[in-house]
Structure 1
Amino acid sequence: MPHETTIPSRRRGRPPRTDTLGPVDDHIGARIRLYRRSRGISQKGLGQGMGLTFQQIQKYENGRSRVTVSALCRIADILDVPVILFFSDLPDADPCRPAPNPLSDRDTLQVLQHFLPLPGPVKKQMLALMRVLRPAEGIRQNSVPAEE
């Protein structure tokens, strides 16, 4: 009798995850929430625009599900923000450190809500004013691009 080799049966569905979610995923999710809220769009509304459920948007925002590049581009398009904004102020010093949550400060959210609808020239004037008013210490220089 010939020797039979048993081949393990293949799991149905997706292969098991080998990578883990981390601070970058948390940061991107927090940015999605920040820009979604600043536009006054619900999780359900963003999900409908993408053909997803609000639960999936919730997973993205809470950092429990990784956002693909194509999904992030669609989100940026729906929220009318440049994709690069999702990566601004990425935690780079310590990859294990949790990303700061910009939504923890209501004043920041209010400023953003009032700032986004302004026309370009007014935004530039506001940025110039903020540069003059901000304290010299404690704020990263690259967080607000210098005017050229």
Structure 2
Amino acid sequence: MSQEKLGESLGITFQQIQKYEKGTNRIGASRLQHIASVLQVPVSFFFEDAPGAPSEIGFEESRPAAFVTDFLSSSEGLQLNRAFVRIKDPRVRRKVVDLVRAIAGDEAED
């Protein structure tokens, strides 16, 4: 994908993409998640060659919590996460978690 096409998908200029690529500007977590979504890759894709990263298997298979990355890379996971973090009342957030667990058939933790 070209820098221009990626920029269009993100609603920014290709010059901004160049600045990210060169390391002139930092990429925030939400922007990185959006980029991963546009490119249809997990966020861990961007860290596979990072120092300290497992080189034989890569991040995704080596971490027991890889399902979190997979979830946040899906459109449903991203939508659910964005809506969930906008809930201000911690009791309501807890009830949403309890509801999802009940629907999934899981017993509540805690």
Which interval holds the TM-score relative to the shorter structure? 0.3 to 0.5
Q: Compare relative contact order (CA 8 Å, sep 6+) and give the higher one, 1 or 2.
A: 1
Give TM-score scaled by structure 1 length: 0.36
